[in-house]
Amino acid sequence: MVYDTLLVIGIVMVAAAFVVIPAGSEIRAGTLWFQAYILVVWWAYFAVCWRLGAQTVGMRAWRVKLVAKDGDPISWIATVARFLVAWVSATALGLGFLWSLFDPQRRGWHDMASATRLVVVPKEAKRGSRG
């Protein structure tokens, strides 16, 4: 999660610069369109990673990938559901994430809402080693 957070902070900073620099002035705090823009940029990072590669940078480091229940790549709609419900889980003091500790299939609220699951990616054998 830390890996993705650091990357998202950088992406959001660049996205904000694309709006602030041409405007030549600050964006007032609480500007609804700007907050929505940043939220869409944030979602876009996760959506593209989940949809096209099944992994974010953090998921790659932990060797897990995201798939639909049938094992296929998740849909764009599922990325929206997963992202929004993850926000609900976080604002509920992490209860939606902790739910996975008690669910028989180890799903959090965001997994259930988006009909997705995490699968472990097997470790690759080292190249050039003989065994």
Quick: pLDDT tens for 55-81: 999 999 999 999 999 989 999 999 999
pTM of the model: 0.86
Three-state secondary-structure class, residue 68: strand
Instruction: Domain ranges for the chain, please list them.
Output: 2-120
Q: Is 110 exposed, middle or buried (0-12, 13-18, 19+ CB in 10 A)?
A: buried
C-alpha distances (whole Å) from 128 to each of 63, 124, 131 are 21, 12, 10
Q: What is the pLDDT of residues 86-102, one digit of tens each?
A: 999 999 999 999 999 99
Q: Return the exposure string of 52-61: e unless at least 16 CB atoms fall within 10 Å of the residue's CB, then b.
A: eebbbebbbe
